[in-house]
């Protein structure tokens, strides 16, 4: 079984409080991108490729190709997803999970706010569930995904959603950006979750600032209405991010924002010509990686 693993962008991101468990409550909109592939002109095919096949062996086998993954294998979210599914499967059936050969060809960049690692984990869960006869419901899969990471539950649903909690409280929304053009520009560095949240002052958070209302506002009004709480301090720490966002607006973006906790910044465009201009400018500026696709 082979799956093409897509990414996501965040439309707005408000940090609304700190929880007793140390995590933060959020309000955001998740929007899936690159469900099939990226533009052939893009240096990133905008999908990871995940293959899972039965294996006659004593243990699972993992192989990772493409963009290097900056963590030891035992911390890789695909490996963690297999472990989590195996425990849930054994607990549910009393049987041992068959062995599998799991191969991931990685293209979605890490530390970009695009959810690549979370998507890999959730697609692993969905593929294993399919191979085992879909023994777990969507709600059970969402709970299992939530144990792996805040963005993981979204990729079980994988359609536009308003999200709350740490990202696990999801509500499907009627938001369709089909026909628009998306340009993503990412500097050569990523941003860790630790750095992103270190600049959030929890003393001044308020639930009254949410929810993000992308589905009820005209796209043309998003620029002044839908914000990302991580931008002010991360733009201060990394001025190139602010310059990238400004360049997207200068090139004609209707809306531009850093996705999630960065470091990728995207622009939404009405037409291919303006998007192509932003894409080409991004390729040549400040060591920026760039990608373009039609939504």
Of 8, 80, 126, 245, catalytic: 8
Rounded to 5°, the CA angle 285-32-136 comes to 140
106 an active-site residue?
A: no
Q: 3-state DSSP call for residue 58?
A: coil
Of 151, 186, 229, 245, catalytic: 151
8 an active-site residue?
A: yes
Helix (DSSP H) and strand (DSSP E) numbers for the chain: 9, 12
The string of DSSP codes covering 41-69 is: TSSS-S-EEEEEEE--SSS-EEEEEESPP
CA 148/CA 143 separation, integer angstroms? 9
Do residues 188 and 289 touch, judged by C-beta distance below 8 A?
A: yes
Tally Cβ neighbours within 10 Å of residue 249: 14
CA 97/CA 86 separation, integer angstroms? 6
Active-site positions? Answer: 8, 151
């Amino acid at each position: 079984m082979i799956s093409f693993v897509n990414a996501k962008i965040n439309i707005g991101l408000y940090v609304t409080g700190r929880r007793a468990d140390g995590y933060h409550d959020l309000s955001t909109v998740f929007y899936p991108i690159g469900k099939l592939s990226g533009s052939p002109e893009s240096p990133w095919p905008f999908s990871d490729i995940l293959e899972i096949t039965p294996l006659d062996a004593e243990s699972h086998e993992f192989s990772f190709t493409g963009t290097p993954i900056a963590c030891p294998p035992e911390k890789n979210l695909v490996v963690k997803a297999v472990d989590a599914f195996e425990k849930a499967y054994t607990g549910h059936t009393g049987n041992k999970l068959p062995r599998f050969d799991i191969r991931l060809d990685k293209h979605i960049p890490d530390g970009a706010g695009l959810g690549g690692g979370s998507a890999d984990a959730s697609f692993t869960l969905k593929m294993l569930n399919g191979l085992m006869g879909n023994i777990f419901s969507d709600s059970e899969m969402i709970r299992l995904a939530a144990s792996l990471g805040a963005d993981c539950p979204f990729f079980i649903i994988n359609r536009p959603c308003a999200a709350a909690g740490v990202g696990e409280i999801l509500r499907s929304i009627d938001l369709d950006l089909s026909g628009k053009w998306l340009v993503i520009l990412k500097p050569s560095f990523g941003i860790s979750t630790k750095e992103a949240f270190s600049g959030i002052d929890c003393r001044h958070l308020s639930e009254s600032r949410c929810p993000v209302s992308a589905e009820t506002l005209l796209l043309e009004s998003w620029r002044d209405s839908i914000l990302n709480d991580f931008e002010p301090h991360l733009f201060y720490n990394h001025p190139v991010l602010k310059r990238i966002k400004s360049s997207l607006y200068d090139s004609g973006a209707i809306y531009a924002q850093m996705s999630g906790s960065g470091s990728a910044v995207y622009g939404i465009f009405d037409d291919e010509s303006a998007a192509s201009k932003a894409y080409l400018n991004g390729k040549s500026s400040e060591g920026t990686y760039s990608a373009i696709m039609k939504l």
